[in-house]
Amino acid sequence: MTEFHPVRRALLSVSDKTGLIELGKALAERGVELLSTGGSAKALRDAGLTVKDVSDVTGFPEMMDGRVKTLHPNVHGGLLALRDNDDHVAAMDKHGIAAIDLLVVNLYPFEATVAKGADYDTCIENIDIGGPAMIRAAAKNHGFVNVVVDVEDYEKLLGDMDQHEGATCPRFRKKLAQKAYARTAAYDSAVSNWMASALELEAPKRRAFAGELKQTLRYGENSHQKAAFYTDGSDRPGVATAVQLQGKELSYNNINDTDAAYELVAEFDPAETAAVAIIKHANPCGVARGATLAEAYQQAFDCDRTSAFGGIVALNQPLDAETAAKITEIFTEVVIAPGASDEAKAIFAAKKNLRLLLTDGLPDTRASIVAYKQVGGGMLVQDKDVGYVNLSDLKVVTEKAPTDEQMQDLLFAWKVAKHVKSNAIVYVKDNATVGVGAGQMSRLDSANVAASKAQRMADVLGLDESLAKGSAVASDAFFPFADGLLEAAAAGATCVIQPGGSMRDDEVIKAANDAGIAMVFTGMRHFRH
């Protein structure tokens, strides 16, 4: 394998023409012959560059609406031939095949076409065939051929050529080849997953997952773990698509927690009321609705002031100055919101380490997307939990029925419980969490933890009784025994929302009746592991 190979002939065929003219001129100045196709050739020629059409090389015109133009031995032979193999060189001479030393290709915008909601036939027409075939050929022959699939690599290519007197080094070509294969893999992943969705296949034989590097992280969950952040190309509002206005780079844990916070706060319609979620270690430590963001933030903060320190704050409305001032009263890692006023930005500007992320909206919490988790030797794949219950879905199972106000708190608590690690118990009063028990091995323990938090915050606030007094309680799954419900009743809860479905439902219902509290069943659970 040749160590250094000069670039004498290049084929440029791109959908995204960003930087194409500049690259073409730079290559021509370095004595590189240019080949091209269709719109790329026209753009280069209009810029005054000498370009040979691929159709002149193949002896065939572009045909079938451009579906066939580069699938020809004169192209693929030029990309695949081993320059140090006598048989390959002889075949090139015999058939008049000239070597291609550089391939610059980016693919038809299939992902963007799907994202725009195009119909099936339009999406099919935007599946590139010739591009991936050439990319794979050039990448396989990276001992001699450079393959560039990203605009960001144009300058790197020219730099490597200049460093090696018009040639490129083997390591550089290997890196280009790796990126090329990753690009075609991601492209095929997008196509196959789109087709599976279009065909409504719940479990296709093979699943492909792909991502594009957004950020190399300092470390993962812990300092000894390497990590990076990849995006999937979707336009879902959230941490992956947000614009960071200030603060140092997000960490692995910041990204994970910010995602959890924004997905939770999006459960609350900003047209109805302001809402704030404060997250710590992927669990909510305070969630509230209010007439204003500032009011909602204060109520969320008062649920657990200790855990809120160094937390993530998510808002369902644009950040305003009053709320910004309140948030800066304590150390906060990240704030994410669908916009911010100039006054709020100015207040945050004084806190250089506070990260402010702005999005162009809230994620649709009812939009079905695929969620996956790695396990040893494989992946678990499921639909994202978009389960939702309305007031009309609730079944009163106790002698006492909840009041209208209690029903509202029950539904609020249910939305929050969906985003709390199981086992989850959530106490809510007046549209604000007052106690959250998360991730315990028993539901009784979660109820106890939530109750103790409610009592501790009451002590901090100087109140005579626990914040849980008169609260509504949500359990993300059924109570297997009556003990967890009785713990909530002892803490002062007056009503409970839970899925139901336990073999001991009758025992739990009787305990609720004996305690004089109301209870409703949802028929749906929200495990979150």
* 186-198 confidence digits (pLDDT tens): 899 889 988 888 8
- Per-residue confidence at 497, pLDDT binned at 50, 70, 90? very high
The proportion of the chain whose per-residue pLDDT surpasses 90, expressed as a percent, equals 74
Q: Is 133 exposed, middle or buried (0-12, 13-18, 19+ CB in 10 A)?
A: middle
What pLDDT shows up at residue 66?
Answer: 64
What pLDDT shows up at residue 1?
Answer: 46
What pLDDT shows up at residue 527?
Answer: 93
**Using CA atoms, how far apart are residues 416 and 452, in angstroms rounded to an integer?**
19
DSSP 249: P
What pLDDT shows up at residue 63?
Answer: 64
Q: Average pLDDT, whole number, for the chain?
A: 92
What pLDDT shows up at residue 437?
Answer: 94
What pLDDT shows up at residue 430?
Answer: 95
- Report whether pLDDT(67) > 70: no
- Report whether pLDDT(62) > 80: no
**Using CA atoms, how far apart are residues 140 and 122, in angstroms rounded to an integer?**
31
**Using CA atoms, how far apart are residues 426 and 434, in angstroms rounded to an integer?**
8
Mean of pLDDT values over 379-395: 90
Considering the entire predicted model, what is its pTM?
0.84
What pLDDT shows up at residue 206?
Answer: 85
Is 281 labeled as catalytic in the residue annotation?
A: yes
> Residue holding tokens 């713990």?
487
Backbone angles phi, psi at 392, to 5 degrees: -70, -15
- Report whether pLDDT(529) > 70: yes
Mean of pLDDT values over 41-68: 80
What pLDDT shows up at residue 69?
Answer: 64
370 or 364, higher pLDDT: 364
What pLDDT shows up at residue 68?
Answer: 66
- Exactly one of 164, 281, 345, 384 is catalytic; which is it? 281
- Report whether pLDDT(210) > 90: no
Q: Residue 152: name the closest of 104, 188, 108 by CA.
A: 104
110 or 522, higher pLDDT: 522
Residue 68 tokens, joined: 């066939």
List the single range of 1-5, 55-59, 458-462 with lowest mean pLDDT. 1-5
- Exactly one of 140, 156, 214, 400 is catalytic; which is it? 140
Give SS3 for 283.
strand
Mean of pLDDT values over 290-301: 96
What pLDDT shows up at residue 228?
Answer: 95
Q: Which amino acid is at 412?
A: F
- Per-residue confidence at 205, pLDDT binned at 50, 70, 90? confident
Distances 289 to 102, 228, 435 between C-alpha atoms, Å = 58, 34, 15
**Using CA atoms, how far apart are residues 183 and 178, in angstroms rounded to an integer?**
9
Is 142 labeled as catalytic in the residue annotation?
A: no
Backbone angles phi, psi at 231, to 5 degrees: -105, 155
DSSP 467-488: TTTT-EEEESS--SSSHHHHHH
The proportion of the chain whose per-residue pLDDT surpasses 70, expressed as a percent, equals 98
Distances 383 to 247, 329, 402 between C-alpha atoms, Å = 34, 39, 32
Spell out the alpha helix ranges (H) of 49-167: 54-58, 73-80, 86-95, 110-115, 120-125, 130-140, 154-163
Mean of pLDDT values over 58-82: 75
List the single range of 71-75, 155-159, 174-178, 357-361 with lowest mean pLDDT. 71-75
β-strands 311-315, 332-337 pairing: parallel
- Report whether pLDDT(443) > 60: yes
- Span 129-183, pLDDT tens digits: 888 999 999 999 999 999 999 999 999 999 999 999 999 999 999 999 999 999 9
- Per-residue confidence at 65, pLDDT binned at 50, 70, 90? low
- Span 227-285, pLDDT tens digits: 999 998 888 999 999 999 999 999 999 999 999 999 999 999 999 999 999 999 999 99
Mean of pLDDT values over 111-119: 87
Residue 310 tokens, joined: 């160094």
What pLDDT shows up at residue 129?
Answer: 86
